[in-house]
Amino acid sequence: WRAVKLRPRRRPWRRAGNRVVAQAGSYKVAILGAAGGIGQPLSLLVKMSPLVSALHLYDIANVDGVTADLGHCNTPAKVAGFTGKEELAGCLAGVDVVVIPAGVPRKPGMTRDDLFGINAGIVRELVEAVADHAPAALVHVISNPVNSTVPIAAEVLKRKGVYDPRKLFGVTTLDVVRANTFVAEMKGLPLADVDVPVVGGHAAATILPLLSKARPKTAFTGEEVEALTRRIQNAGTEVVEAKAKAGGGSATLSMAYAAARFLEASLRGLDGDGDVYECAYVQCQAVPELPFFACRVKLGRDGVEEVAAAAAELRGLTEYEARALEALKPQLKKSIDKGVAYAQQQP
């Protein structure tokens, strides 16, 4: 495996006779919650992707301004805005990937699980529409608590008879992005070379960076492992607290960057690039007692192509990592069960 960069490998041009013309992207992407803190910068990054031909923006508020604004960028993706439940069908028709950052963010003192009460219903409703109008699309869930919202999405898709576990992802790329940044800073390594797998889930101690598996191979003292692990696990809270002084909210810019990186990787997989690996929270057998687990997966033409690398990565852990993996299991299982129970109780 190797790190995925925010840089498509498809040539941005093609030959037509003796002329060189721009290569048009061919993928359609919908962003649900596109006018929010993550949605807006993410929409801009997706508008800049040469792989995207159409960008559909959906929100319950303020989507017209974002659509008009982005539509003026002279990049090929055609932007269209949709608002209100009755426009969801049009937004989703024919799209290849649906990205969901809709929902409320944390305030200081809250856990991600404290968002369950509001965000569970938002994700359920949106994924029901995805099942009805884009049943073959890849679904990228950003809305927290990811540890529970992804199992909710899976149950909704199952109930609608369109669940394909290869196509449902909880976006945990931000954990990898943070781990790479913090390790590069601490060790004075070139950022572009660093790749740290982060497994488990996306909340507090369920976020488990595997520093022993970092590339390039790097030696860490026990204190460094402890400090890095804590910082990566608490990075979301670090942003929530820093933003509390002015307006509030949680990570939006780094999250938009991370979501754009994961989208680009998924599109490259759909496009037939045979060498695309990313960590994501997916249904898998990497840890048999946890039906969902964030791990490194190979992305291909139908979404997840292989999780073999994940199981291999969980072998040969350090004692610290093995203990942390054991410790996260009950917490993650509880969040998964909570999501499943919620979805199964719905009429």
Question: 317: number of CA atoms within 13 Å, CB side?
Answer: 21
Q: How far apart are CA 312 and CA 172, in angstroms?
A: 19
Taking the CA atoms of 338, 343, 346 and 347 in sequence, report the sign of the dihedral they define. Answer: negative
Selected from 255, 297, 328, 340, the binder of ligand NAD by CB under 6 A is 255
* Residue type at position 327: A
Smallest distance, Å, CB 230 to ligand NAD? 18
Task: Output the smallest distance, CB 276 to ligand LMR, in A.
Answer: 23
72 is catalytic: no
Return the number of the residue (45 or 312) whose C-beta is nearest ligand LMR: 45
Answer with the entry of ligand LMR, ligand NAD, none that 103 interacts with (C-beta below 5 to 8 A by kind): ligand NAD
Q: Pick what 29 binds: ligand LMR, ligand NAD, none; C-beta below 5 to 8 Å, kind-dependent.
A: none
Q: Closest distance between ligand LMR and the C-beta of residue 27, in Å?
A: 26
Residue 36 interacts with, from ligand LMR, ligand NAD, none (CB under 5-8 Å by kind): ligand NAD
The backbone torsions φ and ψ at residue 272, rounded to the nearest 5 degrees and listed phi first, read: 95, 5
Residues 293 and 199: beta-carbon distance below 8 Å:
yes
Residues that bind ligand LMR (CB under 6 A): 105-106, 112, 144, 174, 202, 236, 239-240, 250-251
Tell me the two tokens of residue 240.
Answer: 């929530």
Chain residue at closest Cβ approach to ligand NAD: 36
Site string for ligand NAD, 73-112 (x = CB under 6 A): ----------------------------xxxxxx------
Residue 283 CB contacts under 8 Å (≥ 6 apart), including other chains: 154, 165, 168, 291, 292
CB of 147 to ligand LMR, least distance (A): 10
Q: Is 201 in the site for ligand NAD (CB under 6 A)?
A: no
The C-alpha atoms of residue 293 and residue 266 are separated, in whole angstroms, by: 18
Q: Phi, psi at residue 299, to the nearest 5°?
A: -100, 135
Measure the CA–CA gap between 11 and 9, rounded to whole angstroms. Answer: 6
Cα gap 39→45, rounded to integer Å: 10
Question: Taking the CB of residue 309, how many other CB atoms lie within 10 A of it?
Answer: 17
Site for ligand NAD contains 35 (CB under 6 A): yes
Q: Which does 240 bind (CB under 5 to 8 A by kind): ligand LMR, ligand NAD, none?
A: ligand LMR
Answer whether 77's CB lies under 8 Å from 8's CB.
no
Minimum distance from CB of 191 to ligand LMR (Å)? 19
Q: Which residues bind ligand NAD (CB under 6 A)?
A: 32-33, 35-39, 58-61, 101-106, 115, 119, 122, 125-126, 142-144, 146, 171, 174, 202, 249-252, 255
Residues acting as catalytic residues? 202
